[in-house]
Amino acid sequence: MRPLAPEFQAYQWAPPNSEVARLAGIDPSQVLRFDQNTPPLPLPSSRPGTIAGTIARVSGYPGGGYIPLRTAIAEYAGVEIDNVVLGAGGDDLILLCARAYAGPGDVIALPPAPTYPLYKIAAQLVGAATDGAEPVLTFDCRPNNPTGSLDPLPAARPLAVDEAYFEYCGETAVPLVESEEVIVLRTFSKLFALAGARIGYAIARRDIADELNARQAPAPVGAVAAELAIAALAFRPDPRPEIEERERLAAAFRALGLAPLESHTNFLFVPVEDPRGVGDTPVQSAWLPVKFWTNLADLVTQGDHVVEAMAGEGVQVARAPVRHVDAVPLTQHPFRVRMQPRLGVAARAQHLEVAGGMPAEQGFGDR
Ligand SMILES: Cc1ncc(COP(=O)(O)O)c(C=O)c1O
């Protein structure tokens, strides 16, 4: 086997639901995950009836070219069907772009850290370096995971712009696709709540899309996933309640003296001096188990348990301990809250609450 770079680190997943349930002492069916920037529940369109016909034909391969799905995506994205490339999630498309553009000895440029780890993994898998002059491909994460920021589009070309959280900000590089070597990567895992189906798409100029498709697996997306995605596009979930909740929660954090970064996603990134201390405090005061895995604090909250707990404990934040925050009602829109130290290494942990008030311990992945 061709050796990987000595510093290569494969993607690390959070513990599965069965492990989360075991740690929390609850049934796996009670675990709702908020640690991967995904909605906790499926869309109404993701129901057995949606896929019943597809299941009846599941002995055959998905139909050539996924015409209904690519037509629906093209209509949603405002492009032509020939501009659409399918993949088993955004991850698959990141890997596809890396192998289409780069090989050993090439350079792939990454977004500034911290960012989604798969760009580096993809570069290393194809044997490319991630620093150096004249990159053959540049990845951009817009908005960025984990900061939630929406930075200016890099000038470099070819450019693969990961728009996994596009629906929460509305900004897109799609208008550039026809005239420039820009590829937009999107996913059904976030707003469309289909992470388990593993489905995403790229938008590219027709000739580039053809080249990408030539390098893609012959049938990269399962028929069931394709059917669910078609139904989700017809349903078109509304991101506005989550955006409102994001802003409400950001205001609650600001009232505590914290300074969450402006987010264009479905999570908040909150710089603090001592992420471990912040993470520990809500655990103790609100009985929300948190597990620390490395050095990045990643709290997930439904409603304001974390905010209230931090306030109640007088958490040492930027300048002064905070002792009070107004109680605000629980809402149905949970948010991931990332705690990042201002200086030095990040620490990360997270907690998860299960609907009905049952908290569940949760690990972390890099999502
Ligand atoms: C920026 C970014 N890109 C891609 C992905 C992966 O998405 P998918 O589930 O479609 O592979 C994620 C998932 O968290 C992400 O945050």
The per-residue b/e assignment along 72-108, b for 16 or more CB within 10 angstroms, e otherwise, is bbbebbebebebbbbbbbbbbbbbbbbbbbbeeebbb
Q: pLDDT value at position 19?
A: 76
Distance 265 CA to ligand 1 centre (A): 12
Best residue among 184, 190, 201 to mutate for probing ligand 1's pocket (most ligand atoms within 8 Å of CB) is: 190
Nearest atom of ligand 1 to the alpha carbon of 187: 10
Distance 91 CA to ligand 1 centre (A): 6
Look up the CATH number of the domain holding residue 142. Answer: 3.40.640.10
Interior CA angle at 275 toward 271 and 279, to 5°?
A: 120
Asked if 86 and 222 sit in the same domain, the reply is yes
Asked if 333 and 226 sit in the same domain, the reply is no
Asked if 27 and 76 sit in the same domain, the reply is no
Exposed/middle/buried for 134, CB within 10 Å: 0-12, 13-18, 19+?
exposed
Q: pLDDT value at position 211?
A: 98
Q: Judge if the beta carbon of residue 145 lies within 6 A of ligand 1.
A: yes
Separation in Å, CA 259 to CA 22, 35, 168, 255, 271: 35, 21, 20, 9, 7
Query: Would you call 188 helix, strand, or coil by DSSP?
Result: coil
* Phi-psi label, residue 169: left if phi above 0, alpha if psi -120 to 50, beta otherwise: alpha
Which pair of tokens denotes residue 279?
């993470």
Q: Judge if the beta carbon of residue 91 lies within 6 A of ligand 1.
A: yes
**Nearest C-alpha neighbor of 322 from the set 274, 256, 250, 277:** 256
Dist CA 112 CA 309 (whole Å): 33
**Nearest C-alpha neighbor of 263 from the set 249, 282, 278, 280:** 249
Dist CA 363 CA 15 (whole Å): 6
Asked if 144 and 56 sit in the same domain, the reply is yes
Distance 226 CA to ligand 1 centre (A): 18
DSSP 284-347: HHHT---EEEEEEEEEEESTTHHHHHHHHTT-B-SSSB----------S--EEEEEEESSSS--
Residues of the chain with pLDDT under 70: 20-21, 23-26, 30-35, 272-367
Separation in Å, CA 113 to CA 32, 109, 125, 145, 218: 29, 12, 19, 10, 34
Q: Judge if the beta carbon of residue 265 lies within 6 A of ligand 1.
A: no
Q: pLDDT value at position 265?
A: 92
Q: pLDDT value at position 351?
A: 33
Asked if 345 and 301 sit in the same domain, the reply is yes
Query: Would you call 83 helix, strand, or coil by DSSP?
Result: helix
Q: Which helix or strand (DSSP H or E) is residue 85 part of?
A: strand 84-87
**Nearest C-alpha neighbor of 195 from the set 361, 34, 359, 356:** 34
Nearest atom of ligand 1 to the alpha carbon of 91: 11
Q: pLDDT value at position 100?
A: 98
Residue bearing the CA closest to ligand 1, atom 5? 90
Domain membership of residue 350 as a residue range: 17-41+239-361
Asked if 52 and 177 sit in the same domain, the reply is yes
Asked if 183 and 244 sit in the same domain, the reply is no
Asked if 207 and 253 sit in the same domain, the reply is no
Distance 257 CA to ligand 1 centre (A): 31
2 assigned to some structural domain: no
Nearest atom of ligand 1 to the alpha carbon of 90: 10
Residue bearing the CA closest to ligand 1, atom 2? 164
Select from 210, 235, 260 the last residue of a domain: 235
Number of domains present in the structure of the chain = 2
Q: pLDDT value at position 312?
A: 54
Select from 178, 200, 235 the last residue of a domain: 235
Distance 187 CA to ligand 1 centre (A): 7
Q: Judge if the beta carbon of residue 350 lies within 6 A of ligand 1.
A: no
**Nearest C-alpha neighbor of 296 from the set 337, 255, 261:** 337
Q: pLDDT value at position 298?
A: 46
347 assigned to some structural domain: yes
Asked if 107 and 62 sit in the same domain, the reply is yes
7 assigned to some structural domain: no
Q: Judge if the beta carbon of residue 37 lies within 6 A of ligand 1.
A: yes
DSSP tag of 149: -
Asked if 192 and 244 sit in the same domain, the reply is no
Distance 130 CA to ligand 1 centre (A): 20
Select from 198, 220, 235 the last residue of a domain: 235
Asked if 126 and 159 sit in the same domain, the reply is yes
Strand order in the sheet with 335-341: 267-272, 335-341, 291-301, 348-354, 358-361
Q: Judge if the beta carbon of residue 164 lies within 6 A of ligand 1.
A: yes
Q: Judge if the beta carbon of residue 187 lies within 6 A of ligand 1.
A: yes
85 assigned to some structural domain: yes
297 assigned to some structural domain: yes
Residues making up the chain, counted from first to last: 367
Q: pLDDT value at position 24?
A: 61
8 assigned to some structural domain: no
Q: pLDDT value at position 296?
A: 40
The alpha carbon of 305 is separated from its chain's Cα centroid by a whole number of angstroms, namely: 23
- Which residues lie below 8 Å from residue 65, measured CB to CB, with a gap of 6+? none
What is the model's pTM?
0.83
Asked if 248 and 158 sit in the same domain, the reply is no
Which pair of tokens denotes residue 69?
């799905």
Dist CA 9 CA 111 (whole Å): 18
Distance 250 CA to ligand 1 centre (A): 23
Best residue among 34, 36, 91, 186 to mutate for probing ligand 1's pocket (most ligand atoms within 8 Å of CB) is: 91
